Structure 1
Amino acid sequence: MNRLLAAWRSTCAIAYATYQEWAAYRSHMLISLFIGPTYFLVQVVIWQALLADGGTIGGYDRTALMSYYGAVLIVSTLVFDFADWNLQMLIRSGKFLTVLLRPMSHRGFALSQKLGHRCLGLWMEALPIWLILWLVFSIRLVPASTGWFVLSLALGFLIMFLVNYCVGTLAFWLTRTAGARRLIGFLRDVCAGVFLPLALFPHELQQLLFFLPFQFITYVPVQVLLGHYELAGIRLGIPEIVGCQALMALLMWGLSELLWRLGIRRFSAAGA
């Protein structure tokens, strides 16, 4: 119990320090207040043109699509992560050696940093974007079940971090990871339903995506917010899909631990 309390205090302290650090450079975050709604506006123009006759596509009409993309914008803002860049930078620059001397695991430290960073993003990015969607686009996003949405969002937050952390460990094997990170990041967003609802993908691809971690980052929290879930003809209740999300978080935690251990062994073997 004492160890858990000590770990919690360390997490809060790191998160608060990160919050204060990024608050000093909050102009970086304010840029998202322009980028996010602009991306959403592009989606509005595209889908209004495609569904000008009032039809539907993949079970979505214009109203449903606008709600979907609005929810994607909010969820993507809240789960945003840069653990892959941070870890590869430490390894490539040699500063990783100092990480090994800390009494706290780097994964726990990085997760605490992300927590502080996104707490700042909650009121500086997500809340203003929510108000813009409501006041400008008349899209009021209210969770069908607040408790399940918060839990699903927290799990998506964790899975996003773990996926990126696994990508960051590639720096143990690769000299430069920028290209790999961009490619994997793009595929992650495609498979998470950021650019298109996964229901619009071919059925066979939907079946594959159901078993990959990416849909649990964005698509699942969005569907939980909207109050229903279906993919590849599989319909699950909100508690069931959130349970699947929790299982995926455990699997990704195990994968990140495996890659970390293998990477540390290689890093040591390199004579660092």
Structure 2
Amino acid sequence: MRRLAAIIQSIGFATYKEWAAFRSHMAASLLVGPVLFLVQVFIWSAMFEGRETINGLTYSQMLAYYGVATLIHYIAFDFADWNLQMLVRSGKFVTFALRPLPHWLFALSQKIGHRSLALWIEVLPVMALFIFVFGVNLKPASPFWAVISILLSFLMNFIVNYCVGLTAFWLVRAEGVRRVFLLLKDVSAGVFLPLSFFPEVLQKVLFFLPFQFITYLPTRVYIGDYELAGIRLSIEQAVGLQAAAVLLAGAVMLALYGAAMRRFTGVGV
């Protein structure tokens, strides 16, 4: 375990230094989150006119939801799917297939380094902007459980995206599948609209999908109140459910990775 931790740290630190040289590219994304949040402010200001709550959420809670969801997006952002598909399509994946370290662990280590850099380039500046300019209350209801839930969101987003990337071993051109799937993922995760606003039948379906554990659940845990499809859970129960979902999704990813490696070696590598 100590050797494994050292490997992850080395890869993560190398990725951190690599992206630090191009930090201006990452800083450019600072415009996206605040602009989209400003659009939400205009929309919900009009929606809440003359109303105290909508679907059980007050105006301040709604702004907090989108503020926290934006920060979680920056923290959990992942491009493992695109990177893996490019490696497979270009043939460069063969160099990873010959290494003793599985590629999924290498990719996860890269993400840790990449997002560590994003903490001070993206997350902290945007958080300060939300608090001091927009006046959003970003104080977590339970800091401990909020941190745990966001870390689990970080892992779940990686797992889901990596599974999408693994389709490249079966599809000649997986870019179309990737784009469609990622759009559906964002919708089903609650990025554009809280999942509690969807029809109840659809909420029941979304409850059993892994996507809510990327954005919706950790955002509601951060706020301090979780409810979906008529099911209300305490913060501890919600995080426990999220942890179980991450373990299950991780097992699925490892199974797909094993099948992909057998297919990869079966065609001559």
Shared fold (TM-score greater than 0.5)? yes
What is the correspondence of 1:213-224 to structure 2 with a 5 Å cutoff? Answer: 213-224=210-221
Q: Render the CA deviation track for 1:182-240: whole Å, top value 9, x for unaligned.
A: 11111111111000001100011111111111000111111111111111111111111
Counterpart amino acid of residue 240 in structure 1: Q
Deviation at 1:261, TM superposition (A): 1.4
Is 1:86 aligned with 2:83? yes
- Corresponding residue for residue 107 of structure 2: 110
- Corresponding residue for residue 147 of structure 2: 150
What is the correspondence of 1:180-191 to structure 2 with a 5 Å cutoff? Answer: 180-191=177-188
- Correspondence for 1:171 among 168, 173, 177: 168
Say what the alpha-carbon RMSD is for the aligned residues: 1.0
Deviation at 1:55, TM superposition (A): 4.5
Is 1:99 aligned with 2:96? yes
CA contact (8 A) 2:68 2:222 kept: yes
Partner Cα separation in structure 1 for residue 16 and residue 128 of structure 2: 23
Is 1:36 aligned with 2:33? yes
Partner Cα separation in structure 2 for residue 37 and residue 253 of structure 1: 32
- Corresponding residue for residue 137 of structure 1: 134
- Corresponding residue for residue 241 of structure 2: 244
- Corresponding residue for residue 14 of structure 2: 17
TM-score (norm 2): 0.97
Deviation at 1:53, TM superposition (A): 2.3
Partner Cα separation in structure 2 for residue 32 and residue 221 of structure 1: 22
SS at match of 1:115: helix
Q: Which runs of 5+ in 1 are unaligned?
A: none
Partner Cα separation in structure 2 for residue 117 and residue 187 of structure 1: 25
- Corresponding residue for residue 263 of structure 1: 260
- Corresponding residue for residue 208 of structure 1: 205
- Corresponding residue for residue 117 of structure 2: 120
- Corresponding residue for residue 69 of structure 2: 72
Partner Cα separation in structure 2 for residue 137 and residue 146 of structure 1: 22
Partner Cα separation in structure 1 for residue 245 and residue 58 of structure 2: 31
Partner Cα separation in structure 1 for residue 208 and residue 193 of structure 2: 18
SS at match of 1:77: helix
Partner Cα separation in structure 1 for residue 266 and residue 105 of structure 2: 24
Is 1:54 aligned with 2:30? no
Partner Cα separation in structure 2 for residue 236 and residue 72 of structure 1: 19
Partner Cα separation in structure 2 for residue 105 and residue 95 of structure 1: 14
Q: Render the CA deviation track for 1:129-156: whole Å, top value 9, x for unaligned.
A: 0000011100130111111111111111
SS at match of 1:31: helix
SS at match of 1:170: helix
- Correspondence for 1:231 among 223, 228, 243: 228
Deviation at 1:51, TM superposition (A): 2.2
Partner Cα separation in structure 2 for residue 142 and residue 109 of structure 1: 34
SS at match of 1:119: helix
CA contact (8 A) 2:61 2:223 kept: no
State how many pairs are aligned. 269
CA contact (8 A) 2:60 2:137 kept: no
Extract structure 1 runs of 4+ deviating beyond 6 A: none
- Corresponding residue for residue 4 of structure 2: 7
